[in-house]
Structure 1
Amino acid sequence: MIGNTTDADTTPPGPWQASARVVPPSWTDFNGHMNEARYLQAFSQATDELMAFLGCDADYIAAGQSFFTAETHLRHLDEVMAGATIRIAILVLAGEGRRMHLFSQMFEGDRPVATAEQMLIHMDLAARRATPPGSTVARALARLTAAHAALPRPAGIGRHVGQPRDP
């Protein structure tokens, strides 16, 4: 992980950083740029890394707890070509009770190329019902949420489909 520790008791400064990756040729479409489904895949994998950082790892899931994505809004800001190195920065906008609200930005270098805003719900996997997370995950999420509350809010949070671009 870039700029993060795997110890959820330590909150990294700034947005949480997922591992960087190179876009493989198989991720491109007939237009020669990254296919829209691969943007979602990259954001999903970054969210999975964040979950592990928070303690929602394989053991936590095996114990019957996890988060489900309830809603996602993607914005494609610029093209990404095969061979490009992308990175994803995640802001935790809210993380209390059963809900986690994330805003993720994908960059190629310093150039923003996409955003994803997601609402996740914590679930009891046996009951298939929403429940509050376990105490370790809840504490880690609360720490990250509090740290991110002080950070600047990037453009695009709360946008809806068809909304005109910011001037």
Structure 2
Amino acid sequence: MPEIAAAEPFRSSIMQIEPQWIDYNGHLNMAYYNVMFDRAIDQLWLELGIGPTYMKERHGSTFTAECHVRYLREIHLGDPVRVSVWLLDADDKRLHTFEEFRHAAEGWLSATSENMSLHMDMNARRVVPFPPDIQQRIAAIAKAHSTVPRPAGIGRNIAMPAKR
């Protein structure tokens, strides 16, 4: 990881929709948005040093505790996609992220996902603080991301529209 974190959201690699993920409505099935969001988070976790090697060598990982997905525009087979991730906040055990799922060529927004992840000791299977070196990496990214304009949709609740 570079010493100075970029003051921009993390951007995943460009990903492709797999044919078996298209449902009978002819678009990406809702479950596979989460697969794509998770793949993007895995890429960010590598940058933070909490990917598969961290799990194998240090017996730590993250579990998603909460997730709120908004589906805004259909995405179809053949559409290239890219996910941007903001690390909104963190403490010694939790990471609060927000993700935007966009058409990689045209730039329009297809979906968002807001998540709370917990740091786990995989031997004890319980929530524990991140090690100090990882906390430093997380703090650097969170600080850099705090200077970037926040995307719309953070903190939204699910509710019926107000009656007029």
Please give the TM-score of this superposition, normalised by the length of structure 2. Answer: 0.91
Aligned to 2:158: 161
Q: Does structure 2 retain, via aligned residues, the 8 Å contact 1:28–1:35?
A: yes
Paired amino acid for 1:54: L
Percent identity, aligned pairs only, is 35
**C-alpha deviations, 1:16-50, integer Å up to 9, x for none?**
01111121222210010000011010001111111
Please give the TM-score of this superposition, normalised by the length of structure 1. Answer: 0.90
3-state SS of paired residue (2:70): strand
Q: Does structure 1 retain, via aligned residues, the 8 Å contact 2:5–2:141?
A: yes
Aligned to 2:5: 11
Question: Runs ≥4 in structure 1, deviation > 3 angstroms?
Answer: none
Q: Does structure 2 retain, via aligned residues, the 8 Å contact 1:54–1:141?
A: yes
**C-alpha deviations, 1:118-162, integer Å up to 9, x for none?**
000111111111111112211111000001111111111001123
Structure 2 CA distance for aligned equivalents of residues 80 and 87 of structure 1: 12
Structure 1 CA distance for aligned equivalents of residues 3 and 121 of structure 2: 24
Structure 2 CA distance for aligned equivalents of residues 40 and 88 of structure 1: 11
Aligned to 1:143: 140
Aligned to 2:38: 44
Unaligned runs of 5+ in 1: 1-6
Paired amino acid for 2:130: P
CA RMSD of aligned residues (A): 1.3
Deviation at 1:10, TM superposition (A): 4.0
3-state SS of paired residue (1:136): helix
Aligned to 2:14: 20
3-state SS of paired residue (1:86): strand
Structure 2 CA distance for aligned equivalents of residues 163 and 152 of structure 1: 28
Structure 2 CA distance for aligned equivalents of residues 37 and 85 of structure 1: 18
Unaligned runs of 5+ in 2: none
Residue 34 of structure 1 pairs with residue 28 of structure 2: yes
**C-alpha deviations, 1:57-116, integer Å up to 9, x for none?**
222101211111100000000000100000000000001210100000000031010000
3-state SS of paired residue (2:41): helix
Cα distance change of structure 1 residues 163 and 92 upon mapping to structure 2, 3 Å threshold:
farther
1:70-149 residue pairs with structure 2 within 5 A? 70-108=65-103, 109-149=106-146
3-state SS of paired residue (1:32): coil
Q: How many residues align?
A: 158
